[in-house]
Amino acid sequence: MTVVNTRSQVWLSEADCRLDDFRACVERTTDPGLCPTADGIEHEVPLYDSRRLTSLAATAEGRRELQAEINRVLSQGPGVAVFKCAFTDLSIVDRATGVFLEMIEEERASGTARGDHYAKPGTNDRVWNALEKLARTAPEVFADYYANDIVALVSAAWLGPGYQVTSQVNVVNPGAAAQRVHRDYHFGFLSNARASAFPRLTHLMAPALTLQGAVAHCDMPVESGPTLYLPHSHKYEPGHLAWRLPEFAAYFEEHRVQLPLDKGDAVFFNPALFHAAGHNSTATVRRVGNLLQVSSPFGRAMESVEREPMVNAVFPVLRQRKAEGADGQWLRNVVDCCAEGYPFPTDLDVDAPVGGLAPPTQAETVWRALEEGRSPQELAAQLRAGALNRGAGAR
């Protein structure tokens, strides 16, 4: 990470976001020594021939050395790499594309189609939880698709063994505008006010818990709007607060890079990289990508805790103590210890974000019920509906 006069601080704020510091962080050349196996560097982004990588990774020693290089590229290097011909058998990609497009048509016909996180709803087509849907709908296609060794190679290089894959299919239709610049999961879904409540160390740690990626399911010339990247921007410490600021967004628009992809190519990047899907200026290309979000196995608590019955048991006490004059901090402390404070994982088909980038957390639901004077029965009904939304039984 690049030091921006904040290393002695525990907290980061928007006041730490200085464009000159950001420029010094990103205006650099990618060191070829970090990626000696790459076939080239284009716009500061290493490009790898996946067929050659598969050969180099045939031995345990070769695989470990190659994964070390990929890890350096995503952490010390530009934070992004393209893997050409990640899928050498394009019939596998086409079969998956066919299933995904059928899902989109079925969801559109049923009125359950959903929009995008960072684009105007209805502009693009999405398949949320495409991973599970593909496995349940077409298990043979799923097996052939996710047997891909480049996905496994890069995922383990960044996250180690035991990683968990999720996927969302995004179809960007002709004429669709570009997304807003952003960083991604986890902090990408938090407001700046909420993000600044987390200590600096958490800001630096969070990107190590997730890997972002995408597989091109069609040829993606630049005109079709493949993802825009700002290489090296993941190294900017207060970047989780900076990407929403107008001067940083303007800098991104002026300096971002864009690489065309062929069907079967894959791109992986550090989730802290400033990025955005591009503008599809074509009249005919329906840009289809399978967005991969791979998570560390360590993002979990030690014990399985049933939060819903806990909250239902404690909520009458909270109501009583509030009526007796307990202050807000006292009440919030109790809510934070019994209710789930994070909205994910969830089923975004039925638990869609409303008025923000993420659905309300269980803790937010409890707090709102307390503020609005709802009865325990009303809260219990809300919690049950939320639990169904977050579980497989909702589909």
- CA-nearest of 391, 80, 124 to 258 is 80
The pLDDT tens digits of the residues spanning 135-189 come to: 888 888 888 898 899 999 999 999 998 888 889 999 999 999 998 999 988 888 8
* 150 touches 83 (CB < 8 A): yes
Check whether residue 78 and residue 116 sit in a common domain.
yes
Looking at 295, 322, 343, the residue that finishes a domain is 295
Pick the most confident of 122-136, 185-199, 292-306.
Answer: 185-199
Which residues face 346 on adjacent strands? none
* Domain-embedded: residue 181: yes
> Does residue 117 register a pLDDT over 60?
no
User: Measured between alpha carbons, how far is 100 from 21 in angstroms, rounded to an integer?
Assistant: 43
pLDDT score for 28: 95
Check whether residue 161 and residue 20 sit in a common domain.
yes
User: Measured between alpha carbons, how far is 260 from 372 in angstroms, rounded to an integer?
Assistant: 51
Check whether residue 263 and residue 390 sit in a common domain.
no
The pLDDT tens digits of the residues spanning 330-379 come to: 898 778 867 887 777 776 776 666 566 667 888 889 999 999 999 999 99
Range of the domain at 360: 307-394
Spatial CB neighbours of 307, under 8 Å, sequence gap ≥ 6: 338, 339, 340, 362
* Domain-embedded: residue 4: no
Residue 95 DSSP SS3:
helix
Domain count, the chain: 2
> Does residue 390 register a pLDDT over 80?
no
* Domain-embedded: residue 64: yes
Say which CATH number the domain at 25 has.
2.60.120.620
Cis peptide before 345 (omega within 30 of 0): yes
Residue 113 DSSP SS3:
coil
394 pLDDT band (50/70/90 cuts)?
A: very low
The pLDDT tens digits of the residues spanning 238-269 come to: 999 999 999 999 999 999 999 999 999 999 99
- CA-nearest of 133, 248, 132 to 183 is 248
Check whether residue 183 and residue 63 sit in a common domain.
yes
20 pLDDT band (50/70/90 cuts)?
A: very high
Check whether residue 44 and residue 171 sit in a common domain.
yes
pTM (predicted TM-score): 0.83
pLDDT score for 107: 84
Check whether residue 267 and residue 314 sit in a common domain.
no
Instruction: Compute the average pLDDT of residues 113-132.
Output: 69
Least confident of 42-51, 69-78, 386-395: 386-395
* Domain-embedded: residue 311: yes
What percent of the chain has a predicted confidence (pLDDT) above 70? 89
113 pLDDT band (50/70/90 cuts)?
A: low
User: Measured between alpha carbons, how far is 206 from 212 in angstroms, rounded to an integer?
Assistant: 13
* 22 touches 255 (CB < 8 A): no
